[in-house]
Amino acid sequence: MELRSTDALRKIQESYGDVYGICTKLKTSPNEVCGEVSVGEEEGEGETGWIEGAAILLSVVCVVLVTAFNDWSKEKQFRGLQSRIEQEQKFTVIRGGQVIQIPVADITVGDIAQVKYGDLLPADGILIQGNDLKIDESSLTGESDHVKKSLDKDPLLLSGTHVMEGSGRMVVTAVGVNSQTGIIFTLLGAGGEEEEKKDEKKKEKKNKKQDGAIENRNKAKAQDGAAMEMQPLKSEEGGDGDEKDKKKANLPKKEKSVLQGKLTKLAVQIGKAGISVNCAYTSKILPPEKEGGLPRHVGNKTECALLGLLLDLKRDYQDVRNEIPEEALYKVYTFNSVRKSMSTVLKNSDGSYRIFSKGASEIILKKCFKILSANGEAKVFRPRDRDDIVKTVIEPMASEGLRTICLAFRDFPAGEPEPEWDNENDIVTGLTCIAVVGIEDPVPDAIKKCQRAGITVRMVTGDNINTARAIATKCGILHPGEDFLCLEGKDFNRRIRNEKGEIEQERIDKIWPKLRVLARSSPTDKHTLVKGIIDSTVSDQRQVVAVTGDGTNDGPALKKADVGFAMGIAGTDVAKEASDIILTDDNFTSIVKAVMWGRNVYDSISKFLQFQLTVNVVAVIVAFTGACITQEKSFLTLIVEEMLLCMLLLQNIILLFLIPLC
């Protein structure tokens, strides 16, 4: 990325426009400022008048150049950051039979791109394989309903839209300015150019009027030997708006891992196939970049933990995926915040079907009618057996802070009529439980730092309340003996809504000060909590809320919060778009650094305003007093000279030498 020379010239022109605007507003001219000899002046003064004019001219040049240099340097760094962001934004494509990740800018027409839940489509394309794919096209059409995409009905995918459910593959048909998003930006650019041309014409007309007025005033002064007051001309101040950039925080990466599991030999055999095909094919484990390093987890971290379990059991999931490619999957019920599970249907060669399911243990167990015994037989799974599993397996795992996932399957015999696959409730039921595994989430070690900085940390999660409470206790959000609340989403909604089902702010204000953990929460619950804290009237001072998240379901809360932190590695494009700051290494510790810098910026702005107000008030008083006392010059000319000197000394030299460019 390089800045053209015209960019620097444009900055100089803008800076000169600021100085010229001062002269215009004070109804004086550059000729007067530069010491033009007027009728009535003594001959000796005329000979030395150029010295003062040259000094003022030099001051103007210094002001213009220093201001232009500062603006140009900041714009250069901003563009460099934008270029870095574009290079870091990658998309998964298939080239030469290999699945690779490339920068979005390198995608070309003809590439086969893999799309998945949470992606922001970077190009237009035609769907060639899809699994329960639903797209949010509201950014283009304004329609809030998700559009279902399939090969036989509406296979067109457009850039700038979000994948809200499912996965698939598409052939890229248009990129860049030829894509749907590119066409819109081109039209916006064309409209902007037309507006700029109109503004330039208006400025030319006004400049002609202003130049004529100044010339007439100069003639009047030459004839009468005294200054004549003219009615001020209103001038438009042109200038670009401040560009608001999304700051990046350079933030060790901890991966999820399966710590406990209840597995039999048959469970391992069936579970190998179930985990391999019932995890998104975009989730995989790659070899470490450096010898002796940790394997790299790509895609969903929970699914990577399950794939890692297979590798620990000396089972290669890639063998199953090679035998059953993604396009061979008969039906996929993708994971979302409502289902809290994922199911995949396979069609066998004899015409029978098998469905694999995985999800929150208490949800999947309720749909299980059988369970694999130690000898590999499927026995009846009664309600009391379910309660025993919860007490002896799930609760002990959850008390240790493990996220419990249940794996299950169901067979549909070949002789029976084909099921109604769109009726999910009838399909994902009567399951046979394979195993229950416990996955450990990496616990952030920066909670205490946040608390020392005066930040209250609350956990809002989709895990069950036992797991959430254990993790919160482990990382310091909860402390034994303290009077804090741990609620589930249903209980939270029951407490904050009235008899009509409407949310009341007074009810929220009674809960949120003591609330520390909100488990089994939906995206709406997260948004409601954030909005409730922001609108709270408990204290006189308004609460400032920051939210961290990585999933598409975190988008509403991230956007509503005062500051949204999205994960740069694990985060979806939807979450990144809704956020204000992206944590490039997904490390919670960097939030503390961001808060530190944010508070430093606030203090710096306060000090700068205090300094500027003090200096400018003094400068105006001194300049006005001096102009009133002096009888040798024009009143306004002297003010302009002294204010230019103040601009040179107090603003530009300080910016150039004392304040580092950032």
Which H or E element spans position 412? strand 402-412
Take residue 26 and report the two structure tokens written for it.
């004070």
pLDDT > 70: what percent of the chain? 72
Closest residue by Cα to residue 491 from 455, 517, 467: 517
Q: Which is more confident, 493 or 200?
A: 493
Confirm whether 108-174 and 257-440 share one CATH topology.
no
- Give dist(CA 445, CA 48) in Å, integer: 71
- Give dist(CA 323, CA 328) in Å, integer: 9
DSSP 580: S
| Residue 535 φ/ψ, nearest 5 degrees | -85, 5
Residue 252: pLDDT band with limits 50, 70, 90: very low
Closest residue by Cα to residue 519 from 362, 373, 311: 362
What are the helix (H) ranges across 246-354?
265-277, 301-312, 317-323
- Whether residue 257 has pLDDT greater than 60: no
DSSP 474: H
- pTM to 2 decimal places: 0.61
b or e along 214-250 (b: 16 or more beta carbons within 10 Å of the residue's beta carbon)?
beebeeebeeeeebeeeeeeeeeeeeeeeeeeeebbe
Residue 596: pLDDT band with limits 50, 70, 90: confident
Residue 107: pLDDT band with limits 50, 70, 90: very high
- Give dist(CA 116, CA 134) in Å, integer: 10
Residue pair 227/634 in contact by the 8 Å Cβ criterion: yes
pLDDT > 90: what percent of the chain? 18
- Give dist(CA 541, CA 469) in Å, integer: 30
What are the helix (H) ranges across 158-299?
180-224, 265-277
- Whether residue 112 has pLDDT greater than 90: yes
Q: What topology does CATH give the domain 447-590? A: Rossmann fold (3.40.50)
Q: Which is more confident, 220 or 53?
A: 53
| Whole-number pLDDT of residue 18 | 55
Q: For the ranges 150-154, 182-186, 406-410, 413-417, which has the lowest average pLDDT? A: 182-186
Terminal-residue alpha carbon distance, the chain: 18
Which H or E element spans position 488? strand 485-488
- Whether residue 187 has pLDDT greater than 60: yes
| Whole-number pLDDT of residue 10 | 66
pLDDT per position as a tens digit, 194-212: 555 555 655 555 555 444 4
Residue 227: pLDDT band with limits 50, 70, 90: very low
- Whether residue 662 has pLDDT greater than 50: no
Residue pair 626/590 in contact by the 8 Å Cβ criterion: no
Q: Which is more confident, 200 or 541?
A: 541
DSSP bridge partners of 286 = 296
Across 502-517, average pLDDT: 92
> How many distinct helices (H) and strands (E) make up the chain?
22, 24
Q: What is the mean pLDDT of the chain?
A: 76
Residue 150: pLDDT band with limits 50, 70, 90: confident
Take residue 179 and report the two structure tokens written for it.
């894509």
Q: Which amino acid does the sequence have at 225? A: G
| Residue 147 φ/ψ, nearest 5 degrees | -100, 125
Question: Which residues, 6+ apart, have CB-to-CB distance to 199 below 8 Å?
Answer: 238
Q: Which is more confident, 17 or 579?
A: 579
pLDDT per position as a tens digit, 610-649: 887 887 788 778 777 776 776 555 555 666 666 666 666 6
- Give dist(CA 8, CA 45) in Å, integer: 38
- Whether residue 236 has pLDDT greater than 50: no
| Whole-number pLDDT of residue 27 | 41
Cα 231 from chain centroid (whole Å)? 51
| Whole-number pLDDT of residue 643 | 66
Parse the chain into domains and list their residue ranges: 5-84+183-244+599-657, 108-174, 257-440, 447-590
- Whether residue 122 has pLDDT greater than 70: yes
Residue pair 274/356 in contact by the 8 Å Cβ criterion: yes
| Whole-number pLDDT of residue 189 | 63
DSSP 648: I
Take residue 310 and report the two structure tokens written for it.
């297979």
Across 2-26, average pLDDT: 54
Q: For the ranges 32-36, 256-260, 322-326, 565-569, which has the lowest average pLDDT? A: 32-36
Q: May I ask the CATH architecture of the domain 108-174?
A: Distorted Sandwich (2.70)
Q: Which is more confident, 47 or 181?
A: 181
- Give dist(CA 262, CA 365) in Å, integer: 14
- Give dist(CA 531, CA 510) in Å, integer: 14
- Give dist(CA 136, CA 143) in Å, integer: 8
| Whole-number pLDDT of residue 190 | 52
Across 558-576, average pLDDT: 85
- Whether residue 121 has pLDDT greater than 70: yes
Q: What is the C-alpha radius of gyration for the chain, rounded to an integer number of angstroms?
A: 34
User: E strands within 1-104?
Assistant: 90-95, 98-103
Closest residue by Cα to residue 496 from 530, 541, 468, 454: 530
Residue 229: pLDDT band with limits 50, 70, 90: very low
Residue 431: pLDDT band with limits 50, 70, 90: very high
Closest residue by Cα to residue 517 from 476, 565, 574, 555: 476
- Whether residue 35 has pLDDT greater than 80: no
- Give dist(CA 34, CA 56) in Å, integer: 6
pLDDT per position as a tens digit, 74-106: 778 777 766 766 666 788 898 888 888 888 888
DSSP 391: I
pLDDT per position as a tens digit, 447-483: 888 888 888 899 998 888 888 888 888 888 888 878 8
pLDDT per position as a tens digit, 598-614: 888 888 888 878 887 88
Q: Tell me the CATH number of domain 257-440, given options 3.10.105.10, 1.10.150.20, 3.40.50.450, 3.40.1110.10.
A: 3.40.1110.10
- Give dist(CA 155, CA 130) in Å, integer: 9
| Whole-number pLDDT of residue 269 | 80
Closest residue by Cα to residue 469 from 525, 512, 520, 526: 520
- Whether residue 21 has pLDDT greater than 70: no
